[in-house]
């Protein structure tokens, strides 16, 4: 790229070399190329080098897609910087490239640069149907954290009949804020690359080394303030990214947001995790809307948990609903330590000395609730689960949902989302044992934890009163 006066950063040159490797058969060593690096480090510059090389030197056809129309337009504007604004552009900064141009289309949604050697770059937003019905050699998926399965099915077919016979798909982006359908293809490609499942993926990633899912909040706060981690995740630090800028971000962002956005830290690969429970089976256990509360469903137990920052408290109530246990969030609300007394009084007024209240030994809630609850009078019905009891609670909750179908719920969004984004992490040296962990940095685990504690409290610590009626989906306790 010297003729274009384009001098890449060392890390950009390394990325280009890793992507463009060829085998003895002169085919690409990798059919999937990936790049994930925090914003503003220069990943677009890396792509520009590759796109210009593939079109100008090899005459390949590229479909460049982005999630947002504005992002696609910016990419097209950067490409026109190299190729010119029109055919025979007298103001072209690189006349040698402009001479190759036979067409520049600027029609909204159909932006493209076509070269005399057959190479071309078509640029568009995925939401606008970019590239449908055409064949390309290379598909670029920018903003891959927003890429959805239906888009994948439609777009990746455009390179299945690649004119060159050697198609490539390039994924570029940052960790998704939430692991759901949006961004799921990107996560799946990344997981396959880092676990070695896909040996034909050239994956380039700059991120801080560490497993954010296994860090306590205190450990994470120390981790995100370590400037060595800033440098490890940001190859352009000290250049286009100033250290003082990152320092300001570290003070403004929540630790987990900073870990994702600036340290490019991903959740643990799903290859090493199993979903906590089958979400489809959980959804089938939901009771219908408009079901009236049933006074014959006696209160069984409360489960209480907090987020690591202790800014959110979650309480789940378990009631005995005939031959099963009904779970319902009684509270999932903002919390500050000034509200500790009010929280203690709420639990005392609803649980008294008899209804079990269950916490985990390692929950952030224990430190501020155990002593005042016992002083208030909960000396016999406050249960603190140790490690063995917690894994037992996880196993029994999964059994109840997936096998016995012995729970019900009201499909509350906070609880449903928490369960959907939870995983079961096997415990070392304890075959078959597991605990709940979260798959997403931004989806709280506390609602599912509280529900697990409440269910375990109901079946282990509570005294069940015999119900007179058969199982009927009628209602739940009201707070």
What pLDDT digit, counting tens, does each position of 87-123 carry? 999 999 999 999 999 999 988 767 999 999 999 999 9
Q: What percent of the chain has pLDDT over 70?
A: 90
* Residue 22 clears pLDDT 80, i.e. is over it: yes
What is the structure's pLDDT at 129? 63
Conformational region of residue 155, where left means phi above 0, alpha means psi within -120 to 50, and beta covers everything else = alpha
Calculate Rg over the CA atoms of the chain: 28
* Residue 469 clears pLDDT 60, i.e. is over it: no
- Cα gap 217→312, rounded to integer Å: 14
Roughly how many angstroms between the first and final C-alpha of the chain, as a whole number? 68
Tokens describing residue 56:
């100008």
- Cα gap 21→38, rounded to integer Å: 24
* Residue 338 clears pLDDT 70, i.e. is over it: yes
Residue, of 231 and 478, whose pLDDT is higher: 231
Sort strands 324-334 and 407-408 into parallel, antiparallel or unpaired. Answer: parallel
What is the structure's pLDDT at 452? 98
Tokens describing residue 434:
């597991």
Q: Where are the alpha helices (DSSP H) in 203-294?
A: 217-225, 227-233, 243-252, 255-261, 279-284
What is the structure's pLDDT at 132? 65
- Cα gap 76→121, rounded to integer Å: 9
Helix (H) or strand (E) holding 138: strand 138-141
What is the structure's pLDDT at 285? 94
Q: Confirm if 65 and 140 have CB atoms less than 8 A apart.
A: yes
What is the structure's pLDDT at 468? 44
- Alpha carbons within 13 angstroms on the beta-carbon side of residue 81 total 13
Q: Confirm if 420 and 283 have CB atoms less than 8 A apart.
A: no
* Residue 177 clears pLDDT 80, i.e. is over it: no
Sort strands 312-321 and 299-306 into parallel, antiparallel or unpaired. Answer: antiparallel
Residue, of 149 and 26, whose pLDDT is higher: 26
Report DSSP letters for 109-128, one per residue: T-EEEEETTS-EEEEEEGGG
- Cα gap 43→240, rounded to integer Å: 12
State the pLDDT confidence band at 478, using cuts at 50, 70 and 90.
very low
Q: What percent of the chain has pLDDT over 90?
A: 69
Environment class of 445 (CB within 10 Å of its CB; exposed 0-12, middle 13-18, buried 19+): buried
**Residue of 461, 444, 267, 417 lying closest to 363 (CA atoms):** 444
State the pLDDT confidence band at 183, using cuts at 50, 70 and 90.
confident
What is the structure's pLDDT at 1? 47
State the pLDDT confidence band at 470, using cuts at 50, 70 and 90.
very low
What is the structure's pLDDT at 213? 75
What pLDDT digit, counting tens, does each position of 314-323 carry? 999 999 987 8
Q: What value does the mean pLDDT of the chain take?
A: 89
What is the structure's pLDDT at 128? 62
**Residue of 175, 110, 123, 179 lying closest to 144 (CA atoms):** 175
- Cα gap 395→434, rounded to integer Å: 7
The residues, ordered by sequence, that sit 6+ positions from 139 with a Cβ below 8 Å of its Cβ are 62, 63, 65, 131, 155, 156, 158, 159, 167, 168, 169, 170
What is the structure's pLDDT at 382? 97
Ordered domains of the chain (ranges, CATH) = 2-205 (3.40.50.300), 212-272 (no CATH), 274-461 (3.30.420.240)
What is the structure's pLDDT at 479? 35
What pLDDT digit, counting tens, does each position of 405-449 carry? 999 999 999 999 999 989 898 887 788 899 998 776 668 899 999
Helix (H) or strand (E) holding 312: strand 312-321
Tokens describing residue 240:
């286009």
Q: Average pLDDT for residues 361-388, to the nearest whole number?
A: 94
């Amino acid at each position: 790229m010297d003729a274009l006066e384009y001098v890449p950063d060392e890390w950009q040159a390394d990325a280009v070399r890793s992507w463009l490797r060829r085998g003895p058969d002169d085919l690409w060593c990798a059919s999937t190329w990936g790049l994930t690096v925090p914003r503003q480090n220069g990943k677009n510059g890396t792509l520009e080098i590759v796109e210009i090389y593939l079109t100008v030197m090899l005459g390949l056809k590229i479909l460049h897609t982005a999630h947002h129309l504005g992002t696609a337009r910016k990419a097209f504007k950067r490409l026109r910087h190299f190729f010119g604004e029109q055919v025979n552009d007298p103001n072209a900064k690189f006349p040698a490239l402009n001479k190759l141009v036979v067409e520049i289309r600027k029609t909204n949604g159909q932006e493209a640069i076509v070269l005399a050697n057959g190479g071309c770059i078509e640029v568009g937003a995925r939401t606008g149907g970019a590239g449908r019905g055409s064949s390309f050699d290379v598909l670029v998926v920018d903003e891959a954290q927003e890429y959805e399965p239906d888009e994948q099915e439609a777009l990746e077919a455009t390179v299945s009949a690649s004119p060159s016979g050697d198609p490539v798909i390039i994924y570029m982006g940052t960790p998704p804020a939430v692991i759901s359908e949006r961004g799921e293809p990107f996560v799946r490609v990344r997981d396959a690359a880092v676990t070695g499942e896909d040996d034909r993926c050239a994956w380039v990633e700059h991120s801080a080394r560490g497993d954010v899912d296994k860090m306590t909040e205190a450990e994470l706060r120390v981790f995100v303030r370590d400037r060595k981690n800033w440098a490890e995740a940001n190859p352009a630090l000290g250049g286009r990214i100033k250290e003082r800028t990152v320092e300001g971000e570290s003070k403004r962002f929540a630790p987990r947001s900073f870990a994702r956005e600036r340290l490019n830290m991903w959740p643990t690969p799903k290859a090493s995790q199993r979903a906590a429970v089958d979400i489809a089976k959980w959804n089938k256990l939901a009771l219908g809307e408009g079901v009236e509360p049933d006074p014959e469903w006696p209160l069984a137990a409360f489960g209480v948990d907090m987020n690591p920052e202790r800014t959110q408290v979650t309480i789940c109530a378990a009631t005995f609903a005939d031959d099963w246990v009904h779970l319902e969030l009684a509270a999932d609300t903002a919390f500050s330590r000034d509200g500790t007394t009010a929280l203690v009084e709420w639990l005392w007024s609803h649980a008294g000395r008899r209804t079990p209240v269950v916490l985990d030994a390692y929950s952030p809630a224990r430190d501020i609730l155990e002593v005042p609850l016992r002083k208030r009078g909960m000396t016999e019905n406050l249960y603190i689960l140790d490690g063995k009891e917690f894994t037992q609670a996880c196993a029994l909750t999964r059994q109840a949902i997936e096998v016995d179908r012995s729970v019900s719920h009201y499909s509350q969004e906070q609880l449903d989302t928490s369960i959907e984004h939870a995983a079961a992490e096997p415990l070392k040296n304890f075959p078959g044992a597991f605990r709940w962990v979260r798959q997403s940095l931004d989806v709280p685990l506390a609602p599912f934890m509280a529900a697990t504690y409440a269910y375990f409290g109901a079946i282990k610590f509570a005294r069940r009163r015999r119900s007179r009626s058969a199982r009927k989906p009628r209602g739940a306790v009201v707070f």
